[in-house]
Structures are given as structure tokens and as C-alpha cells.
Structure 1
Amino acid sequence: MWRLLLTGILTFGLHAQPEADSVLAQIKNHMVETLARQPNYTCLETVERSRRDGSTRKFRLQDTLRIEVALVDGKEMFAWPGSKQFEDRDFRELIPTGTFGTGDFALHARSVFGGNSPVYQPQGEQKLDGRPAVQYDFRVARQRSGYQIRTRDAEAVIGYHGSFYVDPQSFDLMRLEVVGDDLPSQLKLKAIWDRMDYAHLRIGDGDFLLPDSSEIVVIDLNGEESRNRVRFSACHQYAGRSTLSFEDPDPAAGTPAPVSKAELELPANLDLMLSLVDEIDTDKAAIGDPVRAQLTGDLKWKGHLLAPKGATASGRISRVERHPNFTLLGVIFSELESATFHARLDLSFDRVAGVDTLKPGRDWLMNTPPLDHEGLVPLKAGRVRVLRGTLMVWRT
């Protein structure tokens, strides 16, 4: 399976093009000011990833991904929901498999309206989903572009063209469309395009124009299409909180004092029997969703108590691959803690009990190889509920 990693990079041309269209000048000035007003903010990004081959007309849902995305000082950052903080690292370390794109959150719009690289062509008034709009087409040559495409085997900067639609009264952006041009042969792609819709959202005491949804489609040389449908929700101002959450804070609640915990390093070859705290419903579950489980008994080593019964292991769902004849669930646990200690986990998965899995020896094929420390559970096709209390055995 091929996969795409898409990075939109803001670049500015060396020479400003003459601004002959006064309306265009007003639109660009308005959008530059609007984008500059955006606070540092964060949203929950939900991505439905689907595929279809050249012989079918209907897309088939592969999986769903949930990730926290933030715009901080003009830079996009990513983290799993429930993480302690955003980490300044390549997003490919978070999402090494499947199709995923960046740039929709802010970078494409800033490049189109804030840079000098695009050449514009007015298209007049149009109707966009029944609403009046003013359309402009634009084109950016590869030599002036910062639009970088990365696949599993290659990467290249490409040119692109597209359209944007603005409200004729307010000049607010309604939709932005970007289409890749002259894709180099080493990318092994036939086409790529991206559509972003914008809406006004309330963040704190302000009203801001932000991306609301997007759709990315990539077609390879064999005619196989990958489609990502993206929704942004639970947007709020980013304040560098220690834990990422999507619930409104309780103003009446005071800030609890941090609790000092002993850092524990677990020895190798210990068996951990974990009982799921939260049900996993494969119809609702998404990559990135937090997962919790508890130790079913005291964890001991050479007669010494390392972790008490009830200590909580936390992690995330790492895959929910939907195939015609089975569903493949993946889970990674990364931390174990109680009121008094904390330990990082690097586990190997052994087995699961209490859920109907595929019989041993049955042939099932993954879309991508297993991730480090990932436990894979092959389930029957269709909806499966992995219930609270399901037992999983892991080894350090």
C-alpha cells in the first residue's frame, strides 16, 4: 500500500506582481488581516480515510483518525488527544501509515493570500452551495512554490493551481481549492487535489474565520484513489496547557497542586494482565482515541511490589482497519501509573481473552506492518464491541 504525506509550506516570491484588480487587492488585504488576527488555537481534527480502485465507483471507509492540531505562532503542530503536550517533531512520527495531509489548518490560505507567488484570474460572481460568492482562480509555478509532496518512496516540490471563493460583501473566504500540477514521475501519482471550507467560529471572546472542513483526494498511477474527509471541532485558544482536553474548563475549580510521583523503570519479561476500563466500539473508534486499562493484580518482581492492583495503563487506539471479511484493531499502551508512581511502557502483546477473535491460522492481511509495541486483535467484519473488562496480556 502506498501512502502520501503532504506538507503545505508558506513561501513568498521575490517580486510582487502588479495589483491591477482593486477588488482583488481588497480581498487580499482583508484576508491577510483576518489571518493575522487568528490567535494561537487548537482543534480536534477528525479524518475519515477511504479508498476505491479503478473498478469501483464507491469509496470504502478504511479507518478514522482523531488528532489534535494547533496553530501556534504560525506553525502547525500535532498531538494525540489526551497527550501531555504538543511535541515539536515531524508529524510522520505520529502518523506513519496511510494518507494524511497538513496545510489545511492555515498554511494554504496564508500562501495564497499572503504571498507574492500566485498569478490570479477573476471569474466573477458565482453561486457556492446556494450562496453568492466571488471566484478567483490562481496558479503558482513550481519554481515559486513551496508545496511539497512526500510519498513512501519519494518527495518533490510541485506547482499548483486552484480557486478561492469569498463573500462579496465581507470578503471573507468561503472555500479554497488547490490542485497539484505536473506531478514528477518519481511520486507515482496521477492527481492530487484539496478543498477547504471556512466558517466563523467562536474562540474565547472573539469571532474568527477558521477552516471548518476539508477533503483531500489522491490518485495513483493505477487509478486507485485515497480520500480524506476532514472535520475540525472543539476549537479553543491554545494556552500551553499541560494536558490536551476538549471539555470546557470549570471556572469554579481551582488549579490543583501538582503531585510528585516516583518514576519507575519496569524490568524486562514481566507479564501484565490488563482489564479494559473503556469499551471499544469498532463502529465509533478512531485512531488516536485514548484507551485505559487496569492491572488485575499486584505486579511483583523478586518478591517486591512494583505496582499495585488497579494501577492504570493508558495508551491509544493505533488502528481500526476495516476489510471486507475482518476488522483489525490495534492498541498501544505507553504509560502505567497510580497515585504514587509513573512508568513508561514498551510492551509486547501476548493475547486477548473475552472477545471473539479470528481463529488461529486464518489468513488476514494488514494494510501496513505492525507499529512498535502495537497489539493487534483481528476481529470479525462489521461492528464489534470490545467490552469493558476484556483482558489483555502484555509483556515488558
Structure 2
Amino acid sequence: MGLALFELPAVSYEGNLKEITDQLVILVLDDGRTFNFKRSTNTKFFKNSKALKAAELKPGDRVALVAKLDDRAFLVASTVTFVEMTAERSAEIAAGVRRAQETADAASPVRGWDGPQLKRRALDEPGPIPDPRAGQSPSDDPLIAKAQDAALSFSEALPNFLCEERMQRFSRDSRMIGWKPLDTISAEVIYEDGRESYRNLKINDRPTNKKMEELSGSWSTGEFNTTLRNLFHPASAAVFQSAEYSRLLDLPARVYDFEVRQENSHWNIQVDFQKITPGYKGSVWIEPASGRVLRMEMQAVDLPPEFPMDQVETAVDYAFLPIGAAAVLLPVHAENLGCQRGTDYCNRNVIDFRNYRKYVSDSTVKFDP
């Protein structure tokens, strides 16, 4: 006796076309989410009920897209139809976005507790000392200018190196139960000429041919340069507010709170086939003598109501480490946190970087057990 097969229902989306390639149709929805749809030989394109070639559609065109899930849970575009925009239609779209955000803002959190957090300020030693210059304009703060110069020149001054990354992944679905281990990802990280790459990935010490971005579950990249550079880049227009003095890693530190608006953000968060670039806020610990960042915390804000996660946070700790004859500020620890919207289910990654050494083409890292 055979099994009855059923076809999954089609789903419809409308938004602005970002790109069409031989493999993908990339659509930006009105709430800021970016969807990557697979393109197949059966994907059809239309305008005014007439078929057209994909090349006739341009980035920025308004389109309606119908897609179906394939047997590997990828969304495959069935039809892509050009939508003629009018002033009335534009106003209707804008009103719908506002209503969705207002509904999300007014809703009570479903998660029955405050949820996990990565914030560390309460653990700083010694306690905070009031900052007499807290009211100073951040744009006039010389330490922010110094940190900006240090962050933007970081990649140019950084030598080529490699290290070991070990990422332990956990989950929890209740405030009454602790974090449950899922697996451990290990890899060699190569930083060469301003770019980071990964090789020799292992899952629970078993080699895999997958790339980092092909792993299931949650993962992250960019701890070595991208995160800091994005925060301090002028295009991000980050607003800094001096908060307090503190100490970290036995070094004096000045703590600043910051905020980056969504339209200036370069932080990408991806869940399955959809991606967003949210605004974010957080805190940064700066060592006054060098202007180097010792710790950075950031939390996504105003996540779209339809995005699968309603809490995303990340934190990175840096320390001065020897690479060859020089002491270089490098990430030593990072954590990422994400919680599914409206549930108690959260994922947490704990990442450690170690065994740094100068990189030459035949370098390898020995992984400690």
C-alpha cells in the first residue's frame, strides 16, 4: 500500500525586487525583511498578464511572488508578477506597515519571563564611577574619535594570523530549566589581508564538508573586524552616550551606550531564507590609552513582527595577545543569543578563540581535546 502524497500550499509575498540571478530571486518586503527564493526552470515572470523575460525586471520594481516549499524546505518561486504602483497603493502599503508595527508594539510579551541576556555591566569590577562629563556631546568626545580611528584602521594594522574557534551551542525552552548542550562546532579561522575564512570544520569532532554558512542551527561570523568596523564607521551614524568608568581585564575602561538606527545599520541577521538588517543598541568598553575596544554588547531593536525571532543579542570580548613580536587586540570570547518569537525557546552560542599564531600558507592549528 502506497502513501498518499500531498502538495504544500503556495505562499504569496509582495515587495521590491532586489536581484534576480540564475539561482535566486531576492525580494525585500515592506517590513525590511529580505527573502531569498530559489529560481528554477519552472519559475515564470509576468507583466500585465503577459509573460516576460526575467531580465526585463529591474531592481526596485514592485512584484508579487508566489512560492512553494520544496522537499528540502527551500522556498521556490513559482511566479513573479510586476505590480504597477500608484500613489493610492503606496499609501495603502505604508499604512499597513504602520498598523503591523503598532500591533506588535502593543502586544504583551508571550514569553513569561524577562528572558536570558548577555549583559555584563553588573559584573564589572570595581563598581561604576560617576562620569563628570556624561553630558558631553558624543561627537565632541576625543575618546570616541580615538576609538573610531583605531577601529577603522584595525584591519590595516592586523597581521595575517590563524586560530582555533570552538563554538558550543545550547538551547532552552523554560526559565526553570538550564541550557541544554546541542553540539560543538570547531574550525580553523584564517585572517588574511583583511578577510576572515574558515576551514577544517568539525561537528562534535567529526569532519564535515559543509561551510560555516551551510550549517543548520545558529552560527555567526565577523567577530574579528566586521562588527567593530560597522559600529564606528561614519555611515552607521552611531550615537554614543558616555555612561560610566569601569575596569575590564585589569584595564581601565570607559563605558559608552550606543544606538544605530535601522536605516544606517549593516548588521545582518538571517533565519532560514529570510534576512533582516535591524537597528541596534548596546554598550562598548573602550581602553582610554589605546582607544581599543575591550568588550562590545549589542541587541537588535524593532524586529519586524513577522520575523521568526523577537530577541537577538551578541557580545564580544577582546584582549591583547601576542602575534609574532607584537601584542594585538583580538577576540577571545563571544556569545550569541536568539529567541523564537512568542515562545520560551532560545538558542545560545558560546564561542572561544585560542591558539593564535602568525599565518603562513602552510600553517595549521592543533586542536586540544
**TM bucket by the smaller chain?**
0.5 to 0.7
Change (3 A) 1:153 1:212: same
C-alpha offsets along residues 182-241 of structure 1, whole Å, 9 cap, x if unaligned? Answer: 112332101011110000111122211100111111111212111100000111222233
Q: Is the 8 A contact 1:44 1:233 kept in 2?
A: yes
Q: Is the 8 A contact 2:322 2:328 kept in 1?
A: yes
Structure 2 distance, partners of 1:78, 1:45, is 9
In the TM superposition, 1:261-300 aligns within 5 A as none
Match of residue 103 from structure 1: 222
Match of residue 246 from structure 1: 365
Match of residue 271 from structure 2: 151
Q: Is the 8 A contact 2:164 2:186 kept in 1?
A: yes
Match of residue 357 from structure 2: 236
Q: Is the 8 A contact 2:143 2:291 kept in 1?
A: no
Match of 2:139 among 6, 13, 19: 19
1:125, distance to aligned residue in structure 2 (A): 1.1
C-alpha offsets along residues 161-195 of structure 1, whole Å, 9 cap, x if unaligned? Answer: 11110123333321011111111233210101111
- Three-state SS of the structure 2 residue aligned to 1:98 is coil
Q: Is the 8 A contact 1:78 1:91 kept in 2?
A: yes
2:270 equivalent to 1:139: no
Structure 2 distance, partners of 1:171, 1:156, is 31
1:41, distance to aligned residue in structure 2 (A): 1.9
Change (3 A) 1:186 1:154: farther
Q: Is the 8 A contact 1:153 1:187 kept in 2?
A: no
1:120, distance to aligned residue in structure 2 (A): 1.5
Q: Mean alpha-carbon deviation: is it higher for 122-131 or for 44-53?
A: 122-131
Match of 1:80 among 174, 182, 200: 200
C-alpha offsets along residues 296-341 of structure 1, whole Å, 9 cap, x if unaligned? Answer: xxxxxxxxxxxxxxxxxxxxxxxxxxxxxxxxxxxxxxxxxxxxxx
Structural RMSD (CA): 2.7
Structure 1 distance, partners of 2:249, 2:317, is 11
Structure 2 distance, partners of 1:116, 1:126, is 29
2:288 equivalent to 1:168: yes
In the TM superposition, 1:54-69 aligns within 5 A as 54-69=174-189
Structure 2 distance, partners of 1:100, 1:187, is 18
Counterpart residue identity of residue 123, structure 1: A
Q: Is the 8 A contact 2:259 2:282 kept in 1?
A: yes
2:292 equivalent to 1:177: no
Counterpart residue identity of residue 225, structure 1: C
Match of residue 188 from structure 1: 308
Change (3 A) 1:202 1:178: same
1:131, distance to aligned residue in structure 2 (A): 5.0
Q: Which has the higher helix share?
A: 2
Q: Is the 8 A contact 2:335 2:348 kept in 1?
A: yes
Q: Is the 8 A contact 1:166 1:173 kept in 2?
A: yes
1:18, distance to aligned residue in structure 2 (A): 8.6
C-alpha offsets along residues 59-91 of structure 1, whole Å, 9 cap, x if unaligned? Answer: 111111101122223222111159xxxxxx963
Structure 2 distance, partners of 1:57, 1:131, is 36
Identity rate, percent = 27
In the TM superposition, 1:183-222 aligns within 5 A as 183-221=303-341, 222=343
Q: Is the 8 A contact 2:167 2:185 kept in 1?
A: yes
Counterpart residue identity of residue 285, structure 2: Y
Change (3 A) 1:198 1:157: same
Structure 1 distance, partners of 2:305, 2:294, is 33
C-alpha offsets along residues 32-55 of structure 1, whole Å, 9 cap, x if unaligned? Answer: 344431112221100010111025
State the 4+ residue runs in structure 1 displaced beyond 3 angstroms.
30-35, 127-132
1:127, distance to aligned residue in structure 2 (A): 4.0
Structure 2 distance, partners of 1:236, 1:81, is 18
